[in-house]
Amino acid sequence: MDTVESVIKAHIRTHGPMTIETFMGLALGHPQHGYYMTRDPLGVAGDFTTAPEISQLFGEMVGICLADAWLRAGAPPFHLVELGPGRGTLMADILRATKNVPAFHARMHLHLVETSPVLRAKQDEALKDYRPTWHASGDTLPDDAPLLVVANEFFDALPIRQLMLTENGLVEQVVGLEGEKLTMGLAPAPSTLLPRRVKNNEIIEISPIRETVMEGLAIRIGTQGGMLLAIDYGHDTPEPAGDTFQAVYKHRFCDPLEHVGDADLTSHVDFHALKAIAKRHGCEAYGSISQKEFLEAMGIHARYAQLNDTKLESGLMRLLDPNDMGNLFKVIAVTSSGFSPAAPSNRA
């Protein structure tokens, strides 16, 4: 029986070593054997847990942020979009938090960008009352109204390439074979891939796919109106460097070349680059701020007190812990004219 690892090895035997970008694309998204295509990766029985699965408070604060921006923009008809919606938990919490916002649900059409048939089934179960429309990519989203887009832990799973400048020129990290074992190595790369000047032997990561997705969203938001709220782990500096490619298997980090097809593969998001793309296309960019700052600005402590449920305390603390998710995860907002977020409040 074929596995995604056997598909990758066969590809290398035929075509030679592959970039990390190609490796991630196959390992995560192969139509028959890819990680996201064959399982629900979330929760105790999976490989990782996201903020919406930790506490309902997270999704409720996101919902408040979206509704506030929509109201201040004049409450127009709009499309509510989530990129990579997981089990539908975040969107269910957003919709519950906004159910009493006048006309929010009546003027909303719900869209989910998801490629996994397993997760689409989970989303359908969680959100069937709202009759969502599914899309394989953002390219097919409607263009007749403003978009309110949520991307929680979406950009980190989009494939990257790793480059390094050496005395002999630019090289790229590639995945090859030694016998039957997958191994990392270096291969010459065209200098046109370098986005900026770098120091010798300094690893930099680029993500053409991330940039393409961000560009498409920025063009749509700039033209149609609306806001993108992106929450992920990453960095926000002008010239980031370092190896952030990682794998998680059963809630533990592992070698990205182990458990191929059974481990999640991600890298840290370059928020500085995403904001620059948005601004090039006429959008405003806000943030980044930490997840802790965002949730507190949106009133998470008041909501916790209102619910008066001690079972929510451990989840609240985990979301806000400055030594963990509270500072690791960052939030940016990208908006058109007429839309602005209550938080992140600092314009980039």
Q: 161 with 206: CB under 8 angstroms?
A: yes
Tell me the mean pLDDT in the region 254-269: 97
CA distance 265 to 55: 24
- Note the pLDDT of residue 168: 87
Tens-digit pLDDT profile for residues 64-100: 999 999 999 999 999 999 999 999 999 999 999 999 9
Question: What are the structure tokens assigned to 293, written together?
Answer: 């700052």
Tens-digit pLDDT profile for residues 157-192: 999 999 999 988 999 999 999 999 999 999 999 989
Q: Is the pLDDT of residue 44 over 90?
A: no
CA distance 137 to 150: 14
Q: Percentage of the chain with pLDDT > 70?
A: 99
- Note the pLDDT of residue 346: 62
Tens-digit pLDDT profile for residues 95-151: 999 999 999 999 999 999 999 999 999 999 999 999 999 999 999 999 999 999 999
- Closest to 285 (Cα-Cα) out of 271, 299, 297: 271
Q: Residue 95: helix, strand or coil by DSSP?
A: helix
Q: Is the pLDDT of residue 43 over 90?
A: no
Please give the mean pLDDT across all residues of the chain: 95
- Note the pLDDT of residue 72: 95
Question: What are the structure tokens assigned to 330, written together?
Answer: 């960052």
Q: Which domains does the chain have, with CATH numbers?
A: 39-158+207-335 (3.40.50.12710)
Q: How far is CA 322 from CA 316, 333, 342, in A?
A: 12, 21, 21
- Segment (H or E) for 206: strand 203-206
Alpha helices in 265-312 (DSSP H): 271-280, 291-297, 300-307
- Closest to 91 (Cα-Cα) out of 154, 155, 138, 156: 154
What do you get for the CA distance between the two ends of the chain, in Å?
Answer: 50
Q: Residue 197: which pLDDT band, with cuts at 50, 70 and 90?
A: confident
Residue 236's CB is within 10 A of a number of other CB atoms, namely 18
